[in-house]
Amino acid sequence: MKPLRTYVVIKNFALNLVQPFISFTSVISGILGEQLGLISSASSFLPSIMQFLLGFSRTSGKSLVVYGTVLSAIGWILLALVPFNLAFTLIYLFLESSLGISLFGWYLIMEKVSRTSRGKTLATYSFYSTLGGLAATLITGFIVGGRTQDIRYFFGITGGLILLDVYFAIKFDVDAVSVKSRVRKLPSEIKKYLAISFIFFTVWSLAWPLFPLAQYYIFSMNYFNIAIIDVISLSSTLVIQRWVGSLVDKNRKMMMFLGRLSLAAFPLAYALSTNIWEIYASQLVSGFTSSINSTAYLSYLYDSSDDVRKSLGYVNLVQGIAEIVGSSLGSILASVFIASMGIFGIRELLGLVGGLRIFASFLYLILKEPKPFKKPIQVG
C-alpha cells in the first residue's frame, strides 16, 4: 500500500500549491461572468462528467490513474505559459477533466481496499491526502503575496511534481480490474440519492463564484490570506478526520446530514462577517465537513450498490450537471445583485444561499441507513 500513500501525498501537495488560488486569480485577472462560473465549478463538475463517461469503460483503475495523471501534468505546465484569457480557461477545463480520469480510477481502487471497514479506511487515505496539501498552500501564498503573475511559476512546479507522481502510480500494488457488469438497473436507494444530490449540489454550487468576488472586492484579500484560509481548513481536517471516519461507520445517514448542514456555515460567514478574522474562524468547520465528504458519501454509495462503477458514474453525472447549473446561476445572480445593490449585494446573495443549503441538507434524512451487500462488491 506504500505506493498508494506516496502517490496521494505528492499529488495533493502539488495540487494545493495552486488549486486554492484559481478562482481568486481569475477574478484579479478580470475573468468574470460565465467564465468565472465555469472555472469556479470546473474542479467539481468536470471530474464528475468524466467519471460518468468512464463508468461505461472497462479500463482498470490503475490505468485510469496513470493516464489521468499524465494528462493533468501536461495541463498544469501549459497553464503556466498562456495569458489570463480564454486560453487560460480552456486549458484549465482540460486539466480538470484529466484529473477526473485519475480520480475515478482512485475511487475504484479505494472501493477495493476499503471493503472491511469503509469509514476508517477511507479516512486514513484522506488523512494522507490532506497531509500532503497542508504546507503547500501556505508556501504559495507567502511567496506570491500580491503579485499575481508569480502564480505562473507554481503552475509549472505543480505540473512537474504530478509528472513525477506518474512513477508511483505505475508502482501501485493493488488494482481494481474491470469485469463485465451483470446489473442493469440502479437500486431504488441510489435513484433517491441521485435526486437528493441534484438538489443539494445545485444549491451548494451557487456560492462558488461568489466566494472569490467577496474575497477580493469586499474583504480585500491577497494570496497569503487565501493560503491562511486553506491551511486552517486542512489543519482542522487533519485533527478530526480519523475520528469522523469511525463515526461514519456507526451512523452514515446522520453524518451525511450533518456534513451537508455544516456547509451552510461558509456562505453565512461571508454574508455576516465584519472582518477577515471572522472568516478565518469559520474555516474551523471545514475539518468536519471535509472529513465527512471524503468518507460518508463514498461509503454510502459503495454499500448501496453491487455495481460500483455504474453507480459512481451516474452519481457523478447528476452531481456534475447540478454543479454547472448552480455555478452558472450563481454567476448570473451575482451580476443581478451587484447591478441593483452594488458589490455588497454579494453579501445578501451569500446569506440567501446559506439558508438554501440548510433547507437542502434535510433531504438526506430521507435516505435509509445502508447495509453492506453480503456478496463481495464487483468493480466492473
Give me the CATH number covering residue 104. 1.20.1250.20
Mean local confidence (pLDDT), 68-95: 96
* C-alpha grid cell, residue 304: 448501496
Cβ neighbors of 233 (< 8 A, separation 6 or more) are 283, 286, 287, 290
For residue 376, being part of any structural domain is answered with: no
Q: Which amino acid is at 210?
A: L
- Predicted confidence at residue 64, as pLDDT, reads 93
- Predicted confidence at residue 294, as pLDDT, reads 66
Within 209-251, where are the H helices? Answer: 210-213, 223-250
- Per DSSP, 343 falls in state T
- Predicted confidence at residue 341, as pLDDT, reads 94
Q: Looking at 98-107, 186-195, 272-281, 309-318, which range is the least confident one? A: 309-318
Which of 21, 15, 43 lies closest to 147 in space, CA to CA? 21
| Total count of domains within the chain | 1
For residue 380, being part of any structural domain is answered with: no
**Gap between the terminal Cα atoms of the chain:** 22
The Cα 335–Cα 343 span in angstroms is 9
* C-alpha grid cell, residue 327: 455555478
Residues in the chain: 380
For residue 371, being part of any structural domain is answered with: no
- Per DSSP, 149 falls in state G
* C-alpha dihedral sign at 333, 20, 264, 364: positive
- Predicted confidence at residue 359, as pLDDT, reads 97
Mean local confidence (pLDDT), 292-317: 78
Q: What is the pTM of this model?
A: 0.83
pLDDT of 100-136, one tens digit each? 999 889 888 877 776 656 556 666 666 666 666 778 8
Percent of the chain with pLDDT over 70: 89
- Predicted confidence at residue 114, as pLDDT, reads 65
Q: Looking at 205-214, 261-270, 280-289, 311-320, which range is the least confident one? A: 311-320
The Cα 235–Cα 287 span in angstroms is 7
Q: Which amino acid is at 195?
A: A
In terms of average pLDDT, the best of 117-121, 130-134, 171-175, 248-252 is 171-175
Considering the chain, what is the average pLDDT of its residues? 87
- Predicted confidence at residue 202, as pLDDT, reads 96
pLDDT of 8-49, one tens digit each? 889 989 999 999 999 999 999 999 888 999 999 998 889 888
Beta carbons of 223 and 151 less than 8 angstroms apart? yes
Region of residue 156 (phi > 0: left; psi between -120 and 50: alpha; otherwise: beta): alpha
β-bridge mates for residue 378, sequence order: 307
The Cα 331–Cα 339 span in angstroms is 12
pLDDT band at 351 (very low <50, low <70, confident <90, very high): very high
The Cα 137–Cα 139 span in angstroms is 5
For residue 52, being part of any structural domain is answered with: yes
- Predicted confidence at residue 374, as pLDDT, reads 45
pLDDT at 375 over 50: no
pLDDT of 207-242, one tens digit each? 999 999 999 999 999 999 999 999 898 888 888 877
Region of residue 128 (phi > 0: left; psi between -120 and 50: alpha; otherwise: beta): alpha
- Predicted confidence at residue 380, as pLDDT, reads 37
- Predicted confidence at residue 155, as pLDDT, reads 97
The Cα 176–Cα 110 span in angstroms is 9
Q: Looking at 129-143, 177-191, 244-258, 315-329, which range is the least confident one? A: 177-191
Strand, helix or coil for residue 115: coil
pLDDT of 135-153, one tens digit each? 888 899 999 988 999 999 9
CB atoms near residue 191 (< 10 Å): 12
Beta carbons of 12 and 63 less than 8 angstroms apart? no
Q: Which domain holds residue 75?
A: 2-177+185-366
Q: Which amino acid is at 147?
A: R
The Cα 63–Cα 314 span in angstroms is 21
Q: How far is CA 94 from the centre of its chain?
A: 16
Which of 101, 93, 97 lies closest to 37 in space, CA to CA? 93
Beta carbons of 163 and 73 less than 8 angstroms apart? yes
- Measured at the CA of 165, the angle between CA 68 and CA 295, to 5 degrees, comes to 70
For residue 283, being part of any structural domain is answered with: yes
pLDDT at 307 over 80: no
